[in-house]
Structure 1
Amino acid sequence: MKQFILSFIALVFFVFESIFAQLFAGDTFGDDKILVPHFMMIFIFFLTMYGSRKMGMLYGAILGLTYDVVYTEILGIYMFLLPFLAYLISKCMKILQNNILIACLTAFVFTAVLELVIFQMNTILSFADMPFGEFAKRRLLPTLLLNLAFIIVSCYPLKRIFEKLDLQGDAE
C-alpha cells in the first residue's frame, strides 16, 4: 500500500509539473523569462531526506528516465543525475541538521545544481548556445524563484506524508 501511495504522489508531481509548464509557458511572466518547474525533482529530494536514500534513488532513476523520454533531447541525463543528486542529498543530510529549514535550503541548492548541470550538458552537446550571463538572468534566477516558492509551499506536507508512510524501516 505504501508503494502505491508513493507512486501515485510521484505521478501527481510528474503531471502537475507538465501542466504548470504548459499553463505558464511563453510570456506569462515576461517575454524574456524562462520558468522551468522542477516539482518532480523536489519530490525526489524530500523523499530522500524524509523517506530513505534507497527509495529516493530508485524513484530518481525511474522518474528521471520517464522525464528523459517525454521531455528531453538527451536520453539518460535525468536518469543518472537524479539518483546521483539523491545520493548526495542523503550524504549531506547526515552531516547537516535534519530540520525543515535546512531541508528547504538543501533542496533549493540541489535544484540550482540540477539546473546548472543541465545547462552545462546542453552547452557541451551544442543544444544551447546561450551565454552563462544570459542564462542566469533569463532562466536560472526565475527558475530558482519559482522552485523556491514551491519548496516553501510543499516542504511541510511532503515531510508529513513521508514520515507517515515510514519508509525508513522498509528500505534500509
Structure 2
Amino acid sequence: MNRFLLPVMLAAFFVIESVFVQLLPAEIFNSDRILVPRFLIIAIFFLTIYGSKKYGIIYGFVFGLLYDVFYTEILGFYLFFFPLTAYLVSKMMKVLQTNIVIVTIVSVIGVALLELGAYEMNLLIHRTDMSFSHFASLRLLPTIVLNLAFSIIAAYPLKRLYEKFAEHLTE
C-alpha cells in the first residue's frame, strides 16, 4: 500500500464534507433540517477498527485540529472529540464482533456521540439555546440517517482498504 494513500484519502473526505454541504443543502427537500456529513470521522472509525487503533487516534488528532481551524471558532473541541470517539469506538469493538454490519452500526453510534458532544459543548458555552428535542429532530436524526447511508455505501471499500493497510503494517 502506498504510504501517501491513507492521508490523501482522509484529506479527500475532509474536503468532500464541505463540498457536500454546498451541493446538497437541506432546502432542496423543503426542510429546515440540518444534515451534517461526518464522512471523515466514519473513515477514521473504520481505520481504528480494521487498520490500526494507533493510526486512527493519531489521524483523529490531526484532522480534529484541522476541523477546529477551518470550521469552528473554538479551538480544541474536535481536537479532543475526534480521537476520543475513535478510542471509544475501538473499545466498543473489543466487546462486539468485527463484522461489517456491527462496525457500521458502531460507527453511526460514534457519529451520534460526536454530535451530542458538539451540542452539549455549544449549550455549555451558550452558543445555542436550542432544546434537546428540537436538536434531536432538526439535526441529530437527519445527521444519523445521512451518515448511516454513507456508512452502508462506503463500508466494504473502507474495510478492504484498511485491511490491506493493516497487512502492510505487519510486514
Q: TM-score, normalised by structure 1?
A: 0.94
CA deviation map 1:134-171 (0-9, x unaligned): 1111111111100010010001100011112226735x
Amino acid at match of 1:45: F
Which residues in structure 2 correspond to 1:13-162 (within 5 Å)? 13-162=13-162
Secondary structure of the residue aligned to 2:27 is: coil
Distance 2:29 2:130 in 1: 20
Q: Does structure 2 conserve the Cα–Cα contact (< 8 Å) formed by 1:51 and 1:168?
A: no
Q: What residue in structure 1 maps to residue 7 of structure 2? A: 7
How far residue 2 of structure 1 moved from its aligned partner, in angstroms, is 3.7
Alpha-carbon contact 1:104-1:151 (below 8 Å) kept: yes
- CA–CA separation in structure 1 for the residues paired with 2:30 and 2:117: 25
1:30 CA displacement:
2.7
Measure, in 2, the Cα distance between the counterparts of 1:84 and 1:167: 25
The number of residues matched between the two structures is 171
Q: Quote how far apart the aligned CAs of 1:25 are.
A: 2.5
What's the CA shift for 1:105? 0.8
| Deviates further, 86-95 or 137-146 | 86-95
Determine the C-alpha separation between the residues in 2 that align with 1:68 and 1:97: 33
% identical aligned pairs: 51
CA RMSD between the two structures? 1.6
- Give per-residue Cα distances to partners, 1:118-141, cap 9 Å, x unaligned: 001011111111111111111111
Distance of aligned partners of 1:105 and 1:77 in 2 relative to their CA distance in 1, 3 Å threshold: same
> What CA distance in whole angstroms lies between the structure 1 residues aligned with 2:85 and 2:2?
23
For residues 102-127 of structure 1, give each alpha carbon's deviation from its aligned partner in whole angstroms, at most 9, with x where no partner exists.
Answer: 10110011111111110010111111
Check conservation: 2:26, 2:35, Cα contact below 8 A: no
What are the ranges of 5 or more consecutive residues in structure 1 without an aligned counterpart? Answer: none
